[in-house]
């Protein structure tokens, strides 16, 4: 089932606090949960472009929260460089982290 990988993905990150010195109102964990639709697009060496659902999630999350995620603790199965490319691929016009 699809729920198990999503649960395990979240379980790894439970208890991680939000980053300091940013304007993100979400915790690291809740911001990460919002980006679950982007998992396929940020897997290491993935040729899959971000889906419309992923792009909508990126835009809703905002640049400060995306930066909290990419500058936070390592996330198993996520290529940070690919995550940093999501705003450009989704035409979100974010400032660089």
| CATH number of the domain residue 36 falls in | 1.10.110.10
| CA-wise closest residue to 72 among 24, 1, 39, 38 | 24
Assess if residue 43 is contained within a domain: yes
| CA-wise closest residue to 9 among 92, 96, 75 | 75
Q: What is the pLDDT along the chain (97 residues), one digit of tens a residue?
A: 444 344 434 434 333 343 444 478 888 889 989 999 999 999 999 999 999 999 999 999 999 999 988 888 888 889 999 999 999 999 998 988 8
pTM of structure: 0.72
Assess if residue 8 is contained within a domain: no
59: which residues sit within 8 A by CB, 6+ positions away?
90, 92
Assess if residue 37 is contained within a domain: yes
């Amino acid at each position: 089932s699809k729920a198990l990988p999503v649960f395990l993905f979240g379980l790894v990150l439970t208890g991680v606090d939000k980053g300091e010195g940013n304007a993100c109102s979400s915790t690291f964990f809740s911001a990460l949960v919002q980006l679950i639709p982007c998992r396929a697009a940020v897997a290491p060496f993935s040729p899959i472009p971000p889906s419309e659902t992923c792009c909508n999630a990126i835009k809703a999350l905002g640049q400060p929260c995306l930066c909290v995620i990419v500058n936070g603790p390592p996330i198993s199965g996520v290529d940070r460089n690919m995550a940093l490319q999501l705003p450009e691929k989704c035409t979100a016009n974010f400032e660089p982290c």
